[in-house]
Amino acid sequence: MRLIVGLGNPGAKYERNRHNIGFLAVDEIHRQHPSFAPWRSRFQGQVSEGQIGSEKILLIKPSTYMNESGRAVGETLRFYKLAPEDVLVIYDELDLPPSKFRMKKGGGHGGHNGLRSISAHIGEDYRRLRLGIGHPGDKRLVSNYVLGDFAKADKDWLEPLLDEIARNADLLAEAKDSQFANKMTLALEPEKAQRNGKKADKPAKDTASQSPSQAQSHTPSPPRSPAKPKGQSHIRQARQAKPAKLPTSGPMADMLKKLFGNEQD
């Protein structure tokens, strides 16, 4: 079994807060995957058990408020005798622009009180899905900003983001984080994915243009045309190179004379 934990604050007052994007994400996973049971109160949170692909999953939304999220996660982990690596936490990230995301395993809490609490209860070796909500630009405004509701205009990026997370939840369930990130980028940022794909394809194309023997050999086959000097062997290139200018005085010159006699004069 794996745990997918969404972070937020309980109650209708906080339901659409930026700080509650983790709750929104697990709610969308729950909505799109019919195998999940109705939400129920357990382990100091709202939980729902179901299956995604071949993995049994427990969705959990701590009811302990953000700053005490670790109490719910720790109790659940101990009950099922799971390891921190079996936990994925989804939460809001001020340092990422809206609609951006990052996958990460382990590390510090970065000032996020929900992570601070979870790390205190289960250690730091759990997986994280950080969802960007942007920064208000002044640290004095952060508290009101994260506890403020998403604007109507945020719907344009928020709904596609949550939808893609739920669509690709099977990769999260199987801990295939790199594949999940690739799928998300392809869906949400196709232009970026295309640019990255071209960069990745370039070296592969160069390698594919050579035969296996050429790719492994340090001495490529002679070029089809003399206009391509890069096809020359290392020995031939060395023969054509201009002779190095050797020192005629100083310690290096003395050393060369000892090695080669007067041939260097």
Q: Specify the CATH number for the domain of residue 184.
A: 3.40.50.1470
What are residue 87's DSSP bridge partners? 3
Spatial distance between the Cα atoms of 31 and 27, rounded to a whole number of angstroms: 6
Domain contains 230: no
Written as six digits, the tokens of 219 are 């001495």
Q: From the centroid of its chain, how far is CA 164?
A: 15
Domain contains 47: yes
pLDDT at residue 2, as a whole number: 96
For residue 63, pLDDT beyond 80: yes
Domain contains 16: yes
Q: Of 76, 29, 61, 75, nearest to 172 (Cα)?
A: 29
pLDDT (average), residues 126-145: 95
For residue 214, pLDDT beyond 50: no
For residue 174, pLDDT beyond 60: yes
pLDDT tens-digit series, residues 13-35: 999 999 999 999 999 999 999 99
pLDDT (average), residues 87-107: 95
pLDDT (average), residues 211-232: 41
Which comes out higher in pLDDT, residue 220 or 200? 200
pLDDT (average), residues 190-200: 63
Domain contains 265: no
- Cβ contacts of 223 within 8 Å, gap of 6 or more: 229, 230, 231, 232
pLDDT at residue 107, as a whole number: 87
Domain contains 209: no
pLDDT at residue 32, as a whole number: 97
Evaluate whether 95 touches 48 at the Cβ level (below 8 Å).
no
Which comes out higher in pLDDT, residue 71 or 252? 71
Which residues have a catalytic role annotated?
Answer: 19
CA distances from 52 to 99, 133, 179, 183, 184 (A): 24, 27, 16, 17, 18
Evaluate whether 193 touches 199 at the Cβ level (below 8 Å).
no
For residue 20, what are the domain limits?
2-196
Domain contains 227: no
Spatial distance between the Cα atoms of 47 and 62, rounded to a whole number of angstroms: 8
For residue 218, pLDDT beyond 70: no
pTM here is 0.72
- Cβ contacts of 205 within 8 Å, gap of 6 or more: none
For residue 250, pLDDT beyond 80: no
pLDDT at residue 228, as a whole number: 43
Evaluate whether 39 touches 98 at the Cβ level (below 8 Å).
no
pLDDT at residue 108, as a whole number: 87
> How high is the mean pLDDT of the chain?
82
Domain contains 238: no
pLDDT at residue 204, as a whole number: 44
Domain count along the chain: 1
Spatial distance between the Cα atoms of 131 and 128, rounded to a whole number of angstroms: 10
pLDDT at residue 194, as a whole number: 63
Domain contains 175: yes
